[in-house]
Structure 1
């Protein structure tokens, strides 16, 4: 049988293996010198960056002064401008971290820092076990312990007369519809127990507003006793119903009551700590307290606002839209100024809030409005089929959101969420407007010390502050990238 002339009769010659395309030369040619214009731009920008890096290295390391006790050590003998004056950083570093906190009590801040890192590290480690217990520690146990340590504790937990009115109104609003519309006995008992537990929580929370007894029909009651009694009654009501005992509402109620009682006990115990007012706080302590509180509060509030803006209930949707658009329409400095100056004008006589508490509330609400729009963008990016599939499975609205929609929306929104966190961390410098000295304000105060007045004092201080802020922001950014890559493994192509 004849072989066709287009069929190769001899083996093809072996070609040399392809060159390694991952060499430095190939990378430079493909990314930096792909054309004449690209090469010229690379040379110009590269030269500028090398010159800038050399100037910074020369100022911060090569020509820097590392030891000294006053400004004389940082002034060259020839009268020229020298390098960085690092001795002032070592002299003022304690003030930068602790502010005006008493030196003998700084160990309390150190314990809080160690306790926070001990809870945060396993929480951020994907393979670490006991995530739920760790979350309870970070969100419940640690805030209470840190609050007692930083302030000194020993609070006389007694709500005021306003708390009694709020408690009575809440109880009537929760129980009256059950009696009027004739809800079955099991639901009625469960709701009654939850209403009484909510009243107990309100009583306890109101103890920070006014510390007087409650007077009802001319009889004076100890508010702490009423709070505890309402919690015990609600416990008896709920436990009397076997259906309620197995409900998730009962579990949530029991955790809330246990947290409330533990907080009351912890805040009322005299541990012998010296009271330290928040006016004595400052430096990195205030920066971390404001930023961490704002971050922890803004995300859940932003999620609720985003869901409220997409709600089918007109009242909830309207209130969410009004709040988001109003807060996003004003700068943070205005919110802080209003919280510091205008809020006391609307409160009853004799009632006031701590300046740090005002800053925490203002920052949390401001950041929540921006976070709501970030989460709403993630919700809109989830395909409609996900909603339809969840509905077809018979899931309720909250089950659908918690198990299907929100995990996808938050995963999509990770870059923008972390971007908001970084902006919030840097915006804490604005708390100076209400008299709180954060890290930057405390550093500026220390740099005005006449004993260290040199031409390089301010540049050295601001360089150190920039490095501290960069370290925190860069850490958040890198962890966000790590989390994003870890959660997007199923979408790689």
Structure 2
């Protein structure tokens, strides 16, 4: 203490010190841009390149989709350059004129309330099941996996016992078929993929061998080949006189194809679980089904959320391949509508495909956005 209080150790300020400048702002848009866009030479160059791409690409896209687009008309003359007097962009008049065909295909016009009701029932199930804070989410699973399939079949195909006349799948088309094929593939591929992943890790040799052969065979064959096999060979396995609906065949092929890929994604999550989790569950006396249901699978599925969603997105886009076997999905309806002589115009060919691209982008972006929001929420809960 003496050393501290001696005069030699005392400090007396003899001159005033200039005030320091105010601290650099740490919040607001300027600070965000400095931190995320211009934090270093490489980041700055990447930002400038991205701005160049945006400036180069966005104006022509705006001109095509909005600026020079044609919104009204009754035939192809409304979308011809020589008629309107300028270079025509997207012909949205054609899309609007064919919108019912793009959505329902050839489904009878007087019965289109049934697909509309199907969209509503299916949409409610999706929102209820995916809304993490929704009330009674246990009932949501029962509603989606039990009620929705039965109601969808009755509404779309028909159920004469309750007054819904039969509408053959040959009349279905457009967005309706795209959603049906993708929904069936997604709903079946997840539980079947889990079963295949568990079977591949099983200690029973026969079960493991069957699962390995199925997964490797399906993953080694292109989807288009699977669809052709399902379309031509599936009826051969049926009894004499038993026919398989033309839409059911690609549904089976798509579901099996997606299940094989889903199994590998989930197997990666199972392998990422530490061995201590299995040992801890066994020490508590949990049986194998309970251990998987309560301990292992929830953690494994959380780990592979990006892989699962990526598989769903790929499946949703791959549904366009069902047109190869004669199913009128959205792409097939666009191809059929653009050859209508009434709408003979150069921009019509591109406008239908532009509409399909926007539809697929919005659906895939929605799935990706939801998966990222779930990941952020789970990451935040782990930090607590």
Question: What TM-score range do you get, normalising by the shorter chain?
Answer: over 0.9
Matched residue, 1:209:
none
Aligned to 1:100: 106
Q: Does residue 1:483 correspond to 2:371, yes or no?
A: no
Q: Is contact 2:273-2:299 (8 Å) kept?
A: yes
Partner of 2:125, secondary structure, is: helix
Q: Per-residue CA shift, 1:327-373, capped at 9, x if unaligned?
A: 00001111110000122234332222112111111111110100000
Residue equivalent to 1:68: 73
Q: Does 1:55 align with 2:60?
A: yes
Whether the 8 Å CA contact 1:379–1:406 is kept in 2: the answer is yes
**Alignment CA distance shift 1:445-1:10 (3 Å):** same
The structural deviation recorded for 1:450 is 1.5
Residue 340 of structure 1 is aligned with which of 222, 231, 234? 231
Q: Is the 8 A contact 2:193 2:266 kept in 1?
A: yes
Deviation string, structure 1 residues 364-411 (Cα, Å, up to 9, x no partner): 111010000000000111111111111111111111100000000000
Q: 1:80, CA displacement in angstroms? A: 5.5
CA distance in 2 between partners of 1:343 and 1:55 (Å) = 48
Contact kept, 8 Å, 1:374 with 1:417, in 2: the verdict is yes
Q: State whether structure 2 residue 88 is matched by structure 1 residue 85.
A: no
Partner of 1:465: 356
**1:140 matches 2:146:** yes
Question: Residues 127 and 63 of structure 1: is their aligned pair in 2 closer, same or farther, counting only changes over 3 Å?
Answer: same
1:39 Cα deviation from its structure 2 partner: 4.2
Kindly tell me: are residues 5 and 345 of structure 1, through their superposed partners in 2, closer, same or farther at Cα, counting changes over 3 Å? farther
Shift of 1:45: 3.9
**Is the 8 Å Cα contact of residues 129 and 141 (structure 2) preserved in structure 1?**
yes
CA distance in 1, matches of 2:139, 2:302: 23
Counterpart contact for 1:97–1:284, Cα < 8 Å: yes
CA drift of 1:290 comes to 0.7
Match of 1:254 in 2: none
Counting only pairs closer than 5 Å after superposition, residues 154-169 of structure 1 correspond to structure 2 as 154=160
The answer to whether residue 277 in structure 2 is matched with residue 272 in structure 1 is no
Between 1:124-133 and 1:28-37, the stretch displaced more is 28-37
Deviations 1:142-172 (A, max 9, x none): 2112111111123xxxxxxxxxxxxxxxxxx
May I ask how many residue pairs the two structures share in their alignment? 378
Residues 192-341 of structure 1 correspond to what in structure 2 (within 5 A)? 270-341=161-232
User: How far apart are residue 26 of structure 1 and its match?
Assistant: 4.5
TM-score (norm 2): 0.92
* Alpha-carbon distance between aligned partners in 2 of 1:478 and 1:7, rounded to the nearest angstrom: 63
1:302–1:375 contact (8 Å) kept in structure 2: yes
Greater Cα offset, 396-405 or 444-453: 444-453
CA distance in 2, matches of 1:35, 1:487: 31
Deviation at 1:5, TM superposition (A): 4.5
| Corresponding position of 1:411 | 302
Q: Please, which of 104, 109, 114 is the counterpart of residue 115 of structure 2?
A: 109
**Is contact 1:81–1:455 with CA below 8 Å preserved after alignment?**
no
- Residue in structure 2 matched with residue 442 of structure 1 by the alignment: 333
In structure 2, the CA distance between the partners of 1:467 and 1:7, relative to structure 1 (3 Å rule), is: farther
Asked if 2 retains the 8 angstrom alpha-carbon contact of 1:96 and 1:439, the reply is: yes
The separation in 2 between residues aligned to 1:488 and 1:48, in whole angstroms, is 33
Q: Is the contact made by 2:157 and 2:168 (CA closer than 8 Å) also made in structure 1?
A: yes
- Alpha-carbon displacement from aligned partner over 1:206-255 (angstroms, at most 9, x marks no partner): xxxxxxxxxxxxxxxxxxxxxxxxxxxxxxxxxxxxxxxxxxxxxxxxxx
Following superposition of structure 1 onto structure 2, how do residues 110-129 of structure 1 map, counting pairs within 5 Å?
110-129=116-135
Q: Distance in 1 between matches of 2:200 and 2:9?
A: 71
Q: In the alignment, which of 2, 6, 28 is matched to residue 3 of structure 1?
A: 6
Uncovered stretches (5+) of structure 2, i.e. residues with no partner = none
How far apart are residue 40 of structure 1 and its match? 4.7
Partner of 1:84, secondary structure, is coil
> What TM-score comes out, normalization by structure 1 length?
0.73
Whether the 8 Å contact between 2:323 and 2:331 is mirrored in structure 1 is no
Question: Residues 86, 4 of structure 1: CA spacing in aligned structure 2 closer, same or farther, 3 A cutoff?
Answer: farther
- Contact 1:282–1:438, Cα closer than 8 Å, also in 2: yes
Summarize the Cα distance change of 1:28–1:350 in structure 2 as closer, same or farther, 3 Å threshold: same
C-alpha displacement of 1:492: 3.4
Instruction: Report the CA distance shift for 1:8/1:106 in structure 2 as closer, same or farther (over 3 A).
Output: farther
Query: Shift of residue 28 of structure 1?
Result: 4.0
Is contact 1:81-1:456 (8 Å) kept?
no
Q: Distance in 2 between matches of 1:7 and 1:466?
A: 77
CA separation in 1, counterparts of 2:113 and 2:338?
25
Residue 20 (str. 1) matches residue 22 (str. 2): no
Structure 1: stretches of 5+ with no match in the other structure:
155-269
> Separation in 2 of the partners of 1:129 and 1:34?
44
